[in-house]
Structure 1
Amino acid sequence: MSLTKITKKQALALSCLFVIPTISAKPLQPTQQLLQDKFIAGKYSTKGADSCLMCHAKSDTVMALFAGAHGNTASSDGPMAQLHCESCHGPQGKHKGKNEPMIAFGADGNVSAELQNTVCLSCHQDNERLAWHDSVHVDADVSCVSCHQVHAANDTILARNQQNAVCSRCHTEQRAAMHKRSSHPLENNAMVCGDCHTPHGSLSEAALKQPSVNDSCFECHAEMRGPFLWEHEAVVDDCSNCHNPHGSVNDNLLTRKAPQLCQNCHQPDGHQFNVEPTDGNVFTTGQSCLNCHNQIHGSNHPSGNYLRK
C-alpha cells in the first residue's frame, strides 16, 4: 500500500500544527520521558505511513485503521492528511532499525492515560470536550481508547445499539440497576447512556447534559415540570430524592416503597402511622400515602394544597 510521501519541509510545518502533549509535573518514567523528548525534537519520517507499513502491514489490527475515519486518505481533517501514523504515535525518530519506542495506546500502553489523551485532544478539541479535564473519566485515569476504537471500521460506542454495553463494562452498578423490575428502557437500547450523560464531562453533576437532574428528567417527563399552584418540595428539589433513574425493585423507579419513602420527610401528623396490616390503616392498602395524595408531583386544583386533587 503506497501513501503520499511528505517532504522534510512539510513534516516540519505539520509538526507545528500538532500540539506537543503536556503532562503533569510528576516525575516521568524513562520511556515516557523519551517519547516526550521525541515530540519536542519532531523527527518525523519523510515517507509517512509507507515507512511504517514496511513492517506493520501484516498486522490485521494495523490495517483495520484504513477502514475507518482515522485511516481515510481522502480526508483533509484526518491523521493521514497530516503526519500519517506519526500524528498519533509520535515522531518515528530511531524507531526503524533501532526499535526506539513510539507511543502505544490502551491499558497496556507505554505512557500514562493523561499523555494518551492529550494526543487525541490535539485534534478532538471542540465544544463537546470543553469540560473534559474536570470530568470523572479523567479523575479515574480513563483513556480515550478505553471507550473508543480507532483501528476499526466503526467505533462501537458510537453505535446506539451498543453504547450501553460499552459503558456498563465499567459502570457495573448501573448495569445491575437497568435489569431490575422497574427501569428505563436501557436493557433493550431504546434509551442509551448518552441520552442523559456526556462522557466527555459537563458543568453539571454526574456528567449530565442538562444543568440539573430535574432538567434531564423533564426532557422526557414534561408533564412533571409545572409550574404548579401547589408544589411538592421534594420534586422541586431533585427527582432523585424519590426515584433511582437507573432502575429499582420498586414500582416507578422509587428508591423505597411508601409509606417508608414518604416518612423520610413527613413525620407523624395525626395519621395512623402503624404499618401493621390492620383494617382501616391508610398505609397498608393500595398505594399507601398515594391513596389520597395522588397528585404527588404537584397540583393546580384550588383545593389541592395537600396534593390530593
Structure 2
Amino acid sequence: MKFLRQLFASCVLLGALAGATGAVAADAAPAATKAPAKDLVLKGDAKCTSCHDESDEPKLLHIGKTKHGTVADGRAPSCTNCHGESDLHTNNPAKLKERPPTDRSFAKGSKTPVAARNESCISCHRKDSKRSHWEGSAHERADVACTSCHQLHTAKDKVADKRTQPEVCFTCHKEQRVQVSKPSHHPVLEGKVACSDCHNAHGSVGPKLVKRDSVVDTCYTCHMEKRGPFVHSHEPVNEDCGNCHNPHGTVAESMLKARPPFLCHQCHTPHGGQLAQLRGQLPLQPTATSSGKSGINYTQARGCLNCHTQIHGSNNPSATNPTPQFNLR
C-alpha cells in the first residue's frame, strides 16, 4: 500500500512538471516568433523609432513632413545616414543614466566637429550647383554648421520661408538687422525680399556671397532698367552699385549712402570752388570759375539730380561736355 502511494505521488509530480514545462514553452514560442518592429517614417528607422516616438521634443518624426522624409524618393536618407549607426547610443552597454550621444550629433553644444556634421549634408547636396562653392566660402571658413541655419526635423524650415528667413540670418548679421530697419530699405521685413534673393549662403564666385559674378549683375536681376548699355555710362555704376547705395538700408532716399549733392561731391569737385566752401576755407558766396563765369553754391536748396537725372547712364548728348548724364528733352 505504501508503495502505491509513493508511485501515485511520483506520477502527480511528473505531471505537474510536464505542465509547467509546456506552459513555459508556450510562452516562449510567441516571443521567438515575434515580428520585428516596423519602420514608421524612413527606411530602416525602426532602430530609432522603437524609442523615439511622436511624444518626443523636438518632434523628430516630423521629418516625415519634409523632403528628407519622402518615402517615394529613393534619395531620401535614413536616420543612420545622418547620425551614423550609433550602436552605443542604441544599446547603452555601459547602462549609463544618460545614453551616449549618436555617432554624429547635431544638438546644440554637440562635441561632433562641425566639418563632420556638415559632411553628412554635403555628401548628398554637393551635387547641387547651388552648393558647389561651399568649400572655402565665408560660412565654411567660419565653422558654421548647416544645422545652425537649417532645421530638418520640422515641417517648416525657417530658412525656406521669406518671412522668417531674415531672422535666421540676423542671428549673426546684427548690423544688417539695424540697416533694414532704417527708413529707406529693401522690403525685407515686409516679406517681399529675402536675403537669399541676393546672396548664396552656401558660397559663390562673387564678392560678399552675392548670387551672380558681381554686385552689379546681382542688382540687375531686379533693376534691369539700369543695365544699359548707354552711350554715356557712369563708371561707379559699372564698377559696384555699393559705391553709392547701401542695399540693406539707409536714412537717405533710394538707399543712398549720403544725400545729394554731398554724395556726388565725394567724387566730383563742386562747381565754382564749392569744395573749399564746404570745408570752410572760402566764404559761402559765388566765386569765379576757370571759365570766367560766376560759380553757384549748389548746396543751398539745389541738387545735382535737378539736371543730371539719368545718373546711371544716358544716351542723350551734351552740347558742352559729352560725359555728364544729362536728360535733354
* TM-score normalised by structure 1 residue count: 0.78
The AA in structure 1 aligned to 2:185 is S
Asked if residue 94 in structure 1 is aligned to residue 91 in structure 2, the reply is no
| SS of residue matched to 2:232 | coil
Looking at structure 2, the residues matched to 210 and 197 of structure 1 have their Cα atoms a distance apart, in angstroms, of 9
* Larger gyration radius, structure 1 or structure 2: 2
Looking at structure 2, the residues matched to 243 and 75 of structure 1 have their Cα atoms a distance apart, in angstroms, of 45
The AA in structure 2 aligned to 1:255 is K
* 8 Å Cα contact 1:218-1:224 kept in structure 2: yes
CA-to-aligned-CA distance 1:220-246 (integer Å, 9 cap, x gap): 111211111112121121111000011
Asked if residue 284 in structure 1 is aligned to residue 279 in structure 2, the reply is no
The AA in structure 2 aligned to 1:124 is H
The AA in structure 1 aligned to 2:47 is S
Residue aligning to 1:76: 74
The AA in structure 1 aligned to 2:301 is T
* 8 Å Cα contact 2:163-2:189 kept in structure 1: no
* 8 Å Cα contact 1:224-1:297 kept in structure 2: yes
Shift of 1:278: 6.8
Q: Which runs of 5+ in 2 are unaligned?
A: 1-36, 94-98, 287-295
CA-to-aligned-CA distance 1:69-103 (integer Å, 9 cap, x gap): 32333431111xxxx31111111233313245422
| SS of residue matched to 1:56 | coil
Of 239, 243, 246, which aligns to 1:244? 246
Looking at structure 2, the residues matched to 262 and 140 of structure 1 have their Cα atoms a distance apart, in angstroms, of 37
Looking at structure 2, the residues matched to 255 and 283 of structure 1 have their Cα atoms a distance apart, in angstroms, of 17
The AA in structure 2 aligned to 1:63 is L
Shift of 1:189: 1.2
Residue aligning to 2:56: 59
Residue aligning to 1:42: none
Change (3 A) 1:140 1:264: same
Looking at structure 2, the residues matched to 144 and 228 of structure 1 have their Cα atoms a distance apart, in angstroms, of 43
Looking at structure 1, the residues matched to 176 and 285 of structure 2 have their Cα atoms a distance apart, in angstroms, of 38
* 8 Å Cα contact 2:184-2:255 kept in structure 1: yes
Looking at structure 2, the residues matched to 100 and 307 of structure 1 have their Cα atoms a distance apart, in angstroms, of 69
* 8 Å Cα contact 1:283-1:289 kept in structure 2: no
Shift of 1:63: 2.5
Change (3 A) 1:271 1:106: farther
* 8 Å Cα contact 1:183-1:253 kept in structure 2: yes
Q: Which runs of 5+ in 1 are unaligned?
A: 7-46
Residue aligning to 1:296: 311
The AA in structure 2 aligned to 1:301 is N
Aligned length: 264
The percent of aligned pairs where both chains have the same amino acid is 40
Looking at structure 1, the residues matched to 189 and 162 of structure 2 have their Cα atoms a distance apart, in angstroms, of 12
Relative contact order, higher structure (CA 8 A, sep 6+) = 1
- RMSD of equivalent CA atoms: 2.5
The AA in structure 2 aligned to 1:112 is P
Residue aligning to 1:121: 122
Which residues in structure 2 correspond to 1:104-253 (within 5 Å)? 104-125=105-126, 126-253=128-255
Asked if residue 3 in structure 1 is aligned to residue 18 in structure 2, the reply is no
| SS of residue matched to 1:210 | coil
* TM-score normalised by structure 2 residue count: 0.73
| SS of residue matched to 1:133 | coil
* 8 Å Cα contact 1:293-1:308 kept in structure 2: yes
| SS of residue matched to 1:270 | helix
CA-to-aligned-CA distance 1:193-212 (integer Å, 9 cap, x gap): 11111111111111111111
Looking at structure 2, the residues matched to 207 and 172 of structure 1 have their Cα atoms a distance apart, in angstroms, of 17
Between 1:63-72 and 1:152-161, the stretch displaced more is 63-72
Shift of 1:249: 0.8
Shift of 1:269: 5.3
Looking at structure 1, the residues matched to 272 and 114 of structure 2 have their Cα atoms a distance apart, in angstroms, of 59
Looking at structure 1, the residues matched to 164 and 88 of structure 2 have their Cα atoms a distance apart, in angstroms, of 40
The AA in structure 1 aligned to 2:310 is Q
Between 1:49-58 and 1:211-220, the stretch displaced more is 49-58
The AA in structure 2 aligned to 1:2 is K
Looking at structure 2, the residues matched to 233 and 67 of structure 1 have their Cα atoms a distance apart, in angstroms, of 50
Change (3 A) 1:72 1:220: closer
Residue aligning to 1:305: 323
The AA in structure 2 aligned to 1:77 is R
